[in-house]
Every structure is written in C-alpha cells, then in structure tokens.
Amino acid sequence: MFGLKSIPAKMAAAATSLMLALAISPCVSQTRHAQRIQRREERQAARQQALAQGNHAGQWLRRYRNLPPDQQQKALESDPQFRSLPPERQQRLRERLQRFSGLPPLQQDRILQRMETWEHLTPDQKQQARQLYSRLQDLPPDRRQRLQTAIRDLRAMPPGQRQQIIESDRFKSQFSPQERDLLGSASRLPLAPAENGQSEPAPEE
C-alpha cells in the first residue's frame, strides 16, 4: 500500500475527508433516529394525555353533578388535573361547569351522554368531528340550522338508510353537493345529534 506521503495533496485531503465522513455518518444517523423516536414518543404521550383528560372530564361530572354548585367549584379547584392546566383553560372549564350546573337534569344527562360518546371515538373520528364542526360554523346561520336539522333526522335512521336519503332527489333539491358531502360525513360519525333549537356543540378539546 502507498503511504499518504506518496499521494498528491488533493487526493490526501479527499481521502481524509472521506474517512471523517465515514466515521461521523453513523453518529449522525443514530442521532436522527433517536430524535425520530423521541418525537414519536412525545406525540404518543400527548395523545394519551388528551384522551385521559377527555375521559376524566366525563367521569368528573358524573361524580360531582349532584353536589351544590359551590361544592362543585371547590372540587374542581382542588382537582390535580385541573390545577395542572393553563390559566385560560382553567377559566373555560369554570365557565362550562357553571353553565352545566344551571341546566335541568335532563339536559345534563344528554350532555353526559354526548361526552361519553366522544370519549369512545378514535383519534381519527375526533379529528373528523372537529373538521365537520368547523365546516358547519363557516356556513350562513340559516344553512347551518338546516344542516343541523338534517343531521339530527339522519341519525335517527338506520345507518344503511342514511346515504340513500342523502342521495335522494329531495335532498339534492334542498342541499348543495358540498352540503350533502358534509351530511354524509356527519351521519357516519357516532355522535349524538343537536337538540331541537340548539346549535351543534363544539367538540371537546
């Protein structure tokens, strides 16, 4: 073998660079692989935390719903998960609890049922629900109300009948193709319909 002294200077430099690259590349590859694993674990932890918070909310309300409002607020303020939330999120939950406490028992039951349904949705279904809600809010109020009424009616039907109704001449004359697409997507989600005269509630965060 020839020594480095017998190789022209440019070739020696190139050889040195190549050796350094070969030595460094495994370390770079391993670092990037570790970063990918870390990011994946962080995403999984975030999903699990969101799921745990959603389940906790429904369980919490079912547990404390029969307490007087002032005792409910005290229980909320002492809850460890509540105390770990950002201040603005805490304030929203205080306001939601206050509204919930002021509702008749029948409406409370329906909200709890809605929350339980939400808790059992897959992450993909929850994302679809958020997108559908956003699309509904972009509609003019009169069209949004029409679609909410149609969604409520469709969900009262057997699943196999819903798409037939959406594709019927009656629905084609009442709704645009985009609106019928929204109706089809909404009717496939196992979500409770909005109450008569009420707006579709925002999906849980």
> Cα–Cα distances in Å, from 111 out to 51, 65, 121, 186?
18, 12, 16, 18
On the question of pLDDT at 197 being above 50, the answer is: no
What is the pLDDT confidence band of residue 143, given thresholds at 50, 70 and 90?
Answer: very high
| Cα distances (Å, whole numbers) of residue 80 to 44, 53, 56 | 22, 11, 11
Burial 50-82 (b: 16+ CB within 10 A, else e): eeebbeebbebbeebbeeeeeebbeebeeeeeb
Q: How far apart are CA 205 and CA 57, in angstroms?
A: 11
> What would the mean pLDDT of 30-59 be, rounded to a whole number?
54
**Range name among 22-26, 91-95, 109-113 with the lowest pLDDT average:** 22-26
**Which residues, at least 6 apart from 119, have a Cβ–Cβ distance to it below 8 Å?**
51, 54, 55, 58
Is residue 29 pLDDT above 50, yes or no? Answer: no
Q: Which two tokens stand for residue 175?
A: 């709704």
Least confident of 21-35, 53-67, 137-151: 21-35
The span from the CA of 140 to the CA of 119, in Å, is: 30
* Range 179-200 average pLDDT: 69
pLDDT at 153 over 50: yes
Look at residue 199 and tell me whether its pLDDT is greater than 70: no
- How long a stretch of residues is the chain? 205
Q: Which residue has the higher pLDDT, 2 or 165?
A: 165
CB contact at 8 A, 119 and 148: no
Handedness of CA 2, 4, 7, 12 (dihedral sign): positive
Locate all alpha helices (DSSP H) within 65-140, ordered by sequence: 69-77, 80-83, 87-101, 105-119, 123-137
Each residue of 93-107: pLDDT tens digit?
999 899 999 999 998
pLDDT computed for residue 68 by the predictor: 92
Question: Tens of pLDDT along 70-95?
Answer: 999 999 999 998 899 899 999 999 99
CA distance linking residue 135 with residue 127, whole number of Å: 12
Is residue 205 within 8 Å of residue 118, measured between CB atoms?
no
Tokens 């200077």 belong to residue: 9
